[in-house]
Structure 1
């Protein structure tokens, strides 16, 4: 079956200063009357997995997983992912604590090519798709777990326009700066390593020590810039992390920050834990897995987190301790880049597959979101928790563009409305569906004290992914505004997002 991404060519306006108020953002759309939020489940590509592991002898023969990133630059989708050489993982870690940073490209996000980069010798040849990482000590260059790539095209230093953070398991005697006394004295340290690159293929480690040297171990899983800081979020578990009252916690998400991508905070923030982890008593077996795969939309961070559930029974002796663990992917959002929340706790945006399907055990999130035409494209991986590496490859899922969820009327026969937080804008557009000729939406601009502004009423009669509101006159320049959107009592409209452009 040939997959057709869209039957309609859609050209959407590009707005460098665009803000997005998503329907599930209860900070920017806090004030609601008679409305309900409906989150959406993705549609999985019928040809999944779209990026498969390589043949025997390839650096990704054991698995190809999106503990990584997908971005689109120009007309090319670029993917950084982790390979594994071995086809079984009985020890829980690959030999040499190394999963190569592999690279792939695509023109449509569906069919991927693994270029021969010629950078790293592997099995006696450089004809492979392994990216080069240089640094001292050598153990810093050996990616072991999650890889997050950030592209800053406007960085004044061309050699640093690509940045990444990843986990390397370094021997303690190779870690400069000592270690905290928090947690047991392991023989290796899950260290956060940062690197920069001009092209995303040849990398150099930042400094000669882990970014979290002198602190605790940290299983980093993301890298982004929000406001004045770079942030890295990732996973920890007790005894390295704990609930606010000091009691033990399962896997939760912590955040570090840096003003310059060189010096990182020793202090960290509790960025996210699932509601059941913070209940008293905690929900048994509920954890969150490997931080979150995140998408920076300028004014807000959105993403997917791993909804980990322990196995119902302990695995048989000799089997992987993870056997029976199940993971689906849920939605998170943050308005400050530090504190994340679930709009609807435990809702499965990307559910694992049904028994017998390729992604039926547990799934892994990446930093892999691209708006393309009328779709939001999301890539993810399968995780065989039994350590047999079965079907550990990369799949594609799609939603309506920015269609993670929508607001609609809750009680039939009653009107509804919402009022946004304040903003400045030259243009306002809606991502909306379900408007009918008999039930148009009406909009009104307000001042910061909820008072209507004379001459700023309009009617929205058309559906669209980016339906511009036509006001009677230009919006007031550089003035704080709010938007009231009214659903009539017979409306079937679904509002997915409000776009504010300057």
Structure 2
């Protein structure tokens, strides 16, 4: 093989690699049409699957994006007196709920002055997700006794904070049913940072599996998710090693409470990448004095990275807001900045700081467990913590709402492959009808609005019917779906 041929092959490979990366990036932010949707729910609020929407009386009315905040449960707080950075899983076979949360104990000097805190990970379980038992496990010494529910104190039994239960491909689990990342300090150089450990029951954690991911002093919940598109792990953390490296004034140290992102190929080996900041408070945050971000737990669901962002007002309130992204890098937030989990009323158990996390699915609902404090961030001695719950119907955080005289949502071109069209929608005060058109918006025979059986109720899985046609007959065709909403909310649609 000649020198010129080798160079040509290298250049060809580089061009191919560049094109593949470009197509991959484009397909995550602006999809390549026709879109293969499979049976995955298609959220309509972020403009990915939707090509256009508008009100029929466009001068007087408009289509709107509506945020639907989860409602706090009447039994809150479910756990009183402790709790932080909470994670909950539900056993798919037994229905048992399991909870892991950060707990802490103050460290005092000889004069009784607060000088810091010790951190560990505690465990609780429940049959119904509401009434929780904190079993006395007798595993680890905490505050001078083993009569506690502590399950993990880190690789050297000195510190474990920021627990994050991981969902990873089966082939990456090394036989463990449970995987958890956490942050440790005081373990020595080469040991401190973000680590991962495995367990067969969620109670007994195997030290022999404990592996360092990043030697990073990111003392928050460092959320790790598996990205099935790029086939890599993504961690959302703080880049404190960059912005807390100097002693002295803010001029040299910088602000470290931002959301950074880093990636790695495995959870069992140290990552070689460096974190990069991706979310910095903007002018809307600054206008409300929320000039810092304390962290952001993230979950990947239905093609979207869902972030529970923690805006922080120095040195008082912490709230939880929703952020979302198609690629895990460029996150969006709603213009009104509604709170995903709101602070409680004054003098309530959760009126100071609220640390929301992602949901678990219970029937037709999403349950959001959260940790909260009754005092501000700066009051580290008198404030008390607890764990609560907020719920909403599944996949119902943001809708597109049609006005009273009607609005239309038109999808991009879809390669249809289902027998049924199923909506998650609320038309209990109005109506939804659907028509089907081709790629150029020519209505298909038997699939116009007048042919559609109107939907007038509230359902997370309503099947749309037409009087004489079945959408299953359109398998393999390139279509657009056109939704007519009169005083109604559409959350998702899917092929089934």
TM-score range, shorter chain: 0.7 to 0.9
For 2:433, which of 432, 437, 441 is the aligned residue?
441
Determine the structure 2 residue equivalent to 1:351. Answer: 342
**For residues 257 and 423 of structure 1, do their structure 2 counterparts lie closer, same or farther at Cα, with a shift above 3 Å needed?**
farther
Determine the structure 1 residue equivalent to 2:42. Answer: 21
Q: How far apart are the structure 2 equivalents of 1:18 and 1:270?
A: 34
Q: How far apart are the structure 1 equivalents of 2:413 and 2:149?
A: 47
**For residues 330 and 44 of structure 1, do their structure 2 counterparts lie closer, same or farther at Cα, with a shift above 3 Å needed?**
same
Q: What SS does structure 1 have at the residue aligned with 2:324? A: strand
Asked if 1:264 corresponds to 2:271, the answer is yes
Q: How far apart are the structure 1 equivalents of 2:441 and 2:276?
A: 34
Q: What SS does structure 2 have at the residue aligned with 1:64? A: coil
Q: Which runs of 5+ in 1 are unaligned?
A: 1-16, 54-62, 178-188, 311-321
**For residues 257 and 202 of structure 1, do their structure 2 counterparts lie closer, same or farther at Cα, with a shift above 3 Å needed?**
farther
Q: How far apart are the structure 2 equivalents of 1:126 and 1:334?
A: 43
Asked if 1:222 corresponds to 2:218, the answer is no
Q: Which has the higher helix share?
A: 2
Q: What SS does structure 1 have at the residue aligned with 2:405? A: coil
Q: How far apart are the structure 1 equivalents of 2:463 and 2:244?
A: 46
Asked if 1:381 corresponds to 2:371, the answer is yes
**For residues 207 and 198 of structure 1, do their structure 2 counterparts lie closer, same or farther at Cα, with a shift above 3 Å needed?**
closer
Q: What SS does structure 2 have at the residue aligned with 1:393? A: strand
Deviations, residues 290-335 of structure 1 (Å, cap 9, x unaligned): 322333324222232112223xxxxxxxxxxx3xx11221111121
For 1:45, which of 52, 60, 73 is the aligned residue?
73
Q: Which runs of 5+ in 2 are unaligned?
A: 1-37, 56-62, 246-251
Deviations, residues 480-501 of structure 1 (Å, cap 9, x unaligned): 65432222xxx11111222345
Determine the structure 1 residue equivalent to 2:482. Answer: 484
Within a 5 Å distance, the mapping from 1:41-440 to structure 2 comes to 41-53=69-81, 63-65=82-84, 67-74=85-92, 75-86=95-106, 91=114, 93-94=116-117, 98-122=118-142, 126-132=146-152, 135=155, 138=156, 142-144=159-161, 146-152=162-168, 154-155=170-171, 157=173, 159-170=175-186, 174-176=188-190, 191-204=193-206, 210-213=212-215, 219-227=220-228, 228-236=231-239, 239-240=242-243, 249=255, 251-261=257-267, 262-276=269-283, 283=287, 285-310=289-314, 322=315, 325-367=316-358, 369-383=359-373, 384=375, 385=377, 386-410=379-403, 412-420=404-412, 422=414, 425-426=417-418, 427-435=420-428, 439-440=431-432
Q: What SS does structure 2 have at the residue aligned with 1:407? A: strand
TM-score under structure 2 normalisation?
0.75
1:392 CA drift (Å): 0.5
Deviates more, 1:159-168 or 1:117-126: 117-126
**For residues 303 and 176 of structure 1, do their structure 2 counterparts lie closer, same or farther at Cα, with a shift above 3 Å needed?**
closer
- Contact residue 220 and residue 235 of structure 1 kept, 8 A: no
Q: How far apart are the structure 2 equivalents of 1:306 and 1:51?
A: 21
- Asked which structure has the greater CA Rg, the reply is 2
Deviates more, 1:346-355 or 1:228-237: 228-237
1:354 CA drift (Å): 1.6
Q: How far apart are the structure 1 equivalents of 2:172 and 2:273?
A: 27
**For residues 444 and 478 of structure 1, do their structure 2 counterparts lie closer, same or farther at Cα, with a shift above 3 Å needed?**
closer
1:274 CA drift (Å): 3.5
- Contact residue 133 and residue 205 of structure 1 kept, 8 A: no
Determine the structure 2 residue equivalent to 1:6. Answer: none
Deviations, residues 257-288 of structure 1 (Å, cap 9, x unaligned): 222212424233433334338x9xx6584335
- Contact residue 368 and residue 389 of structure 2 kept, 8 A: yes
- Contact residue 103 and residue 130 of structure 1 kept, 8 A: yes
Deviations, residues 325-359 of structure 1 (Å, cap 9, x unaligned): 11221111121233322133521222101211111
**For residues 423 and 46 of structure 1, do their structure 2 counterparts lie closer, same or farther at Cα, with a shift above 3 Å needed?**
farther
TM-score under structure 1 normalisation?
0.74
Determine the structure 2 residue equivalent to 1:315. Answer: none
Q: What SS does structure 1 have at the residue aligned with 2:235? A: strand
Deviations, residues 26-56 of structure 1 (Å, cap 9, x unaligned): 3333522231011123321222111123xxx
1:79 CA drift (Å): 0.9
Determine the structure 2 residue equivalent to 1:461. Answer: 455
1:253 CA drift (Å): 0.9
Aligned residues: 427
C-alpha RMSD of the superposition: 3.5
